[in-house]
Chain A
């Protein structure tokens, strides 16, 4: 089986191509966290008073909280006083066109393959991009096309000024500041993120995308995304992220909130490719993220799709509160851990409305010394008549030093609920390999086909351009089934 091992090795030892650093002057706050730092961030963003108060309140709550320790993760405690909470590339003033953006920034996104120029397209499809560099948004494309449709897509810092009422109404309504340790921290110091509002009855004319880049040293990124889909609207949103290769661990603690009104649908896709650290587990991003959506109205739908390949540590549970009757929640995930990466990820589906349905498909791949855990909760409350859930969690093990774990929780309080959970763990079967070899396939092709087949259910949920990236990330050609 040596050639199989070689194939696996080449698959999992792919170099991190996004690990370069952009040399650019930055306006960075000294490390440390206190009320003054929060005031400075708020002042730099020229925020209204209500937001500053909200931040300070969150900070005071955070001071009383403790780091969560229940996850199946092992790492040294993080010194939050050693991190800078704000870093922005130096720019003169507000930008109206791309010509005024520092060419080095544009170059960065060019290198990453992110189209910040409206003339260029990503994998053949037009996508509106909000490019976030450390703590600020560099550029947002297709603003005009979108505003014609009535869609608001802008950096959160702009939304706070332009649409304070909307922000005030929804910010923190799904993930309250006091929800958990990292959401409280984020609420206190969040610096950038995207704001999306889709008005009633509008189908967003193109995919929206935010691309997060950490560049500066010793900084944390605390982005905050808020998406509101009003009645009968539809939006598909993509999120991507990369960071330079550094020996120090960097913290990324984001909060994402989704609100879907009656009949609305939000599709949220992530390809997470933060720097995972080197082979010995040195460096890499700590990705501690709170993502939650609420299906507020009847017949609303929220679908999370994630491909998690990066980060030294991932702690992330995109969840759906199924409040509306006939609402639908979905979670599709592929998580790959290699070298010393650790992931503890999964979802929560809380059934509150009648006839609410949820589907969970989770695929974990562990290689090297990676530890991959699925942790999920399906909760059916008393009033959720005819709730339906189907969960499937499969793990694939490559190598004898990795680990795959599953921790599903089911709490069912309604007798009309039908809940099913299945989990399997195995390695690539020798019989499967043998079958393929017998049909004349090379060992490499066979392995990649089997791994693809394993992830297919999730990949097919990704928008085309992301599926392409996901495919690249796993270093394997998909058998033409994408899209």
Chain B
């Protein structure tokens, strides 16, 4: 597979092969919707490094292979699931397990408490499509690219979560996405609707259960109504051959709070697009990110904060540790619209560059059209401080221990933002193991 046109054609053919069996195709508007997305995909194709938003990330590892959607009519092979390996110890959650982007009810617990509705996207599209048509109509096309359109055109499944007014979710909703390798293509599409005054935690977790290349192209839309509070987690731990393009797009009404933590430890090529559009007065958004990379991993975090109404606040902190031949990319955009007076937006990206062959490309952006604002961004790139290292050595700590301690301390302020204790414990131990290995 060489040319972009060929690979685009390949996916278009795959779409036509699958189209009939995609969920919701019995409904006219869905059919038309998918069709128009596909034609957009065909015109835009996959992004290239000639595009400003992709200048540091080549999608070659994705376009040089032919990934294909799996046949979900087969039952899950029993050796695929291993609860000891795949579950987070001590975590009590409402769990939905997807294999290659398709919900497996047998492995899932789909019946949470009152006032909360959780259903598979396939079910919703087949049985009550009109309940979500509104959200499809509203979606933005201007900032989409090939991956978005590919997902929109032939996503097979995902989840629709509705947190009712004033509901406070007791346990986190955990969406566990497993990739089975074998050049599989998973394209989950999720819709989270948080009604007025509700509160809840939602986690997307990505794992590879078999070796081999895979592509996960996910898109999650989160709609927060007045006063809703959603804590979101994106936890990425796929194999060193897996590629992932993830979108989490939030739309926030007044006084709502959206907080997203992105922890990337695995994956060969990972691109995360986080976006929050604060459209109501007094909304607040946090984005915290942590990436600890080694080998030839390439991780691109692309974030956008749109302050579209007065009095909104946002806070963003991304920390990275780059080892071996890994490459980190950070792009953080803050846009303050004309009427968004009294905006307070802070952003910071710090990277520890620990190897001669590692590279970081960071690109913070402020675009400001209002005058009564306080905005700042900061970015640093550096190494472990020699003085701190010396201090620990004088206390009898070995050099490698001292290094991993200091590195751990560097990322700790992002870990501290994790409010789900079992997850935090797991990540802490994974990170410290990884840091010791890297020494």
Partner-contacting stretch, out of A142-150, A184-192, A415-423, A457-465? A415-423
Q: Chain A at the B interface: mostly helix, strand, loop or mixed?
A: strand
Q: Chain B at the A interface: mostly helix, strand, loop or mixed?
A: strand
Chain A, Cβ-Cβ closest to B346: A424
Residues of A within 8 A of B358 (CB): 415
Docked-complex contact B371 and A422, CB < 8 angstroms: no
Nearest-CB distance from A349 to chain B (Å)?
14
Whether, in the assembled complex, A6 has its beta carbon less than 8 Å from a beta carbon of chain B, the answer is no
Whether, in the assembled complex, A399 has its beta carbon less than 8 Å from a beta carbon of chain B, the answer is yes
Contact of B368 (CB < 8 Å), options: A397, A399, A412: A397
Docked-complex contact B364 and A423, CB < 8 angstroms: yes
Docked-complex contact B383 and A415, CB < 8 angstroms: yes
Whether, in the assembled complex, B36 has its beta carbon less than 8 Å from a beta carbon of chain A, the answer is no
Whether, in the assembled complex, A17 has its beta carbon less than 8 Å from a beta carbon of chain B, the answer is no
Whether, in the assembled complex, B412 has its beta carbon less than 8 Å from a beta carbon of chain A, the answer is no
Partner-contacting stretch, out of A163-171, A335-343, A355-363, A403-411? A403-411
Contact of A404 (CB < 8 Å), options: B356, B361, B366, B381: B366
| Cα distance, A406 to B366, chains bound together (Å) | 5
Residues of A within 8 A of B52 (CB): 70
Residues of A within 8 A of B364 (CB): 406, 408, 421, 423
Docked-complex contact B360 and A403, CB < 8 angstroms: no
Per-residue 0/1 for A244-284: is the Cβ within 8 Å of any B Cβ (1 yes, 0 no)?
00000000000000000000000000000000000000000
| Cα distance, A34 to B371, chains bound together (Å) | 46
Docked-complex contact B382 and A418, CB < 8 angstroms: yes
Whether, in the assembled complex, B439 has its beta carbon less than 8 Å from a beta carbon of chain A, the answer is no
Per-residue 0/1 for A74-92: is the Cβ within 8 Å of any B Cβ (1 yes, 0 no)?
0000000000000000000
Whether, in the assembled complex, A120 has its beta carbon less than 8 Å from a beta carbon of chain B, the answer is no
Nearest-CB distance from A271 to chain B (Å)?
26
Whether, in the assembled complex, A15 has its beta carbon less than 8 Å from a beta carbon of chain B, the answer is no
Nearest-CB distance from A116 to chain B (Å)?
42
Docked-complex contact A412 and B365, CB < 8 angstroms: no
Docked-complex contact B371 and A400, CB < 8 angstroms: yes
Whether, in the assembled complex, B89 has its beta carbon less than 8 Å from a beta carbon of chain A, the answer is no
Residues of A within 8 A of B56 (CB): 411
Per-residue 0/1 for B205-230: is the Cβ within 8 Å of any A Cβ (1 yes, 0 no)?
00000000000000000000000000
Whether, in the assembled complex, B22 has its beta carbon less than 8 Å from a beta carbon of chain A, the answer is no
Contact of B371 (CB < 8 Å), options: A70, A382, A398, A408: A398
Whether, in the assembled complex, A427 has its beta carbon less than 8 Å from a beta carbon of chain B, the answer is yes
Residues of A within 8 A of B368 (CB): 395, 397, 403-405, 425
Contact of A416 (CB < 8 Å), options: B362, B373, B383: B383
Per-residue 0/1 for B368-401: is the Cβ within 8 Å of any A Cβ (1 yes, 0 no)?
1111111111111111000000000000000000
Q: Which of A201-250 contact B (CB under 8 A)?
A: none
Docked-complex contact B375 and A400, CB < 8 angstroms: no
Residues of A within 8 A of B187 (CB): none
Per-residue 0/1 for B337-379: is the Cβ within 8 Å of any A Cβ (1 yes, 0 no)?
0100100000000010111101111111111111111111111
Chain B, Cβ-Cβ closest to A371: B369
Chain B, Cβ-Cβ closest to A375: B365
Contact of B370 (CB < 8 Å), options: A400, A410, A418: A400
Known contacts: A425-B368, A425-B373. The answer to whether A418 contacts B378 by CB under 8 A is no
Docked-complex contact B360 and A424, CB < 8 angstroms: no
| Cα distance, A407 to B364, chains bound together (Å) | 6
Residues of B within 8 A of A406 (CB): 364-366, 377
Per-residue 0/1 for A415-450: is the Cβ within 8 Å of any B Cβ (1 yes, 0 no)?
111111111111100000000000000000000000
Chain A, Cβ-Cβ closest to B323: A415
Chain B, Cβ-Cβ closest to A372: B368
Residues of A within 8 A of B374 (CB): 424-426
Docked-complex contact A400 and B365, CB < 8 angstroms: no
Q: Number of A interface residues, CB 8 Å? A: 35
Residues of A within 8 A of B366 (CB): 395, 404-406, 423, 425
Residues of B within 8 A of A397 (CB): 368, 370-371, 373
Residues of B within 8 A of A404 (CB): 366, 368
Chain B, Cβ-Cβ closest to A419: B381
Docked-complex contact A409 and B373, CB < 8 angstroms: no
Chain B, Cβ-Cβ closest to A409: B363
Chain B, Cβ-Cβ closest to A399: B371
Docked-complex contact B378 and A409, CB < 8 angstroms: no
| Cα distance, A1 to B245, chains bound together (Å) | 49
Residues of B within 8 A of A422 (CB): 376-378
Residues of B within 8 A of A418 (CB): 380-383
| Cα distance, A400 to B361, chains bound together (Å) | 33
| Cα distance, A409 to B372, chains bound together (Å) | 26
| Cα distance, A398 to B372, chains bound together (Å) | 9
Whether, in the assembled complex, A472 has its beta carbon less than 8 Å from a beta carbon of chain B, the answer is no
| Cα distance, A36 to B426, chains bound together (Å) | 74
Nearest-CB distance from A409 to chain B (Å)?
5
| Cα distance, A418 to B364, chains bound together (Å) | 17
| Cα distance, A408 to B362, chains bound together (Å) | 8
B52, B351, B355, B369 — most chain A CB neighbours (10 Å): B369
Whether, in the assembled complex, A402 has its beta carbon less than 8 Å from a beta carbon of chain B, the answer is yes
Nearest-CB distance from B55 to chain A (Å)?
9
Residues of A within 8 A of B356 (CB): 382, 414-415
B371, B372, B382 — most chain A CB neighbours (10 Å): B371
Chain A, Cβ-Cβ closest to B371: A397
Docked-complex contact A417 and B369, CB < 8 angstroms: no
Residues of B within 8 A of A421 (CB): 362, 364, 377-380
Point out residues on B near A: beta carbons under 8 Å: 52, 56, 338, 341, 351, 353-356, 358-383
26 CB-based A-B contacts, threshold 8 Å:
A72-B367, A399-B371, A400-B341, A400-B371, A400-B372, A405-B368, A406-B365, A406-B366, A409-B361, A409-B362, A410-B361, A411-B361, A412-B351, A415-B354, A415-B355, A415-B356, A415-B358, A417-B353, A417-B381, A418-B383, A420-B379, A421-B378, A422-B376, A424-B375, A426-B373, A427-B373
If A411-B56, A412-B362, A423-B378 are given as contacts, then 19 extra A-B residue pairs at C-beta distance below 8 Å, sorted by A number, are: A397-B370, A399-B371, A400-B338, A405-B365, A405-B366, A406-B377, A409-B362, A411-B359, A412-B359, A414-B353, A416-B383, A417-B353, A418-B382, A420-B379, A421-B377, A421-B378, A425-B375, A425-B376, A427-B371
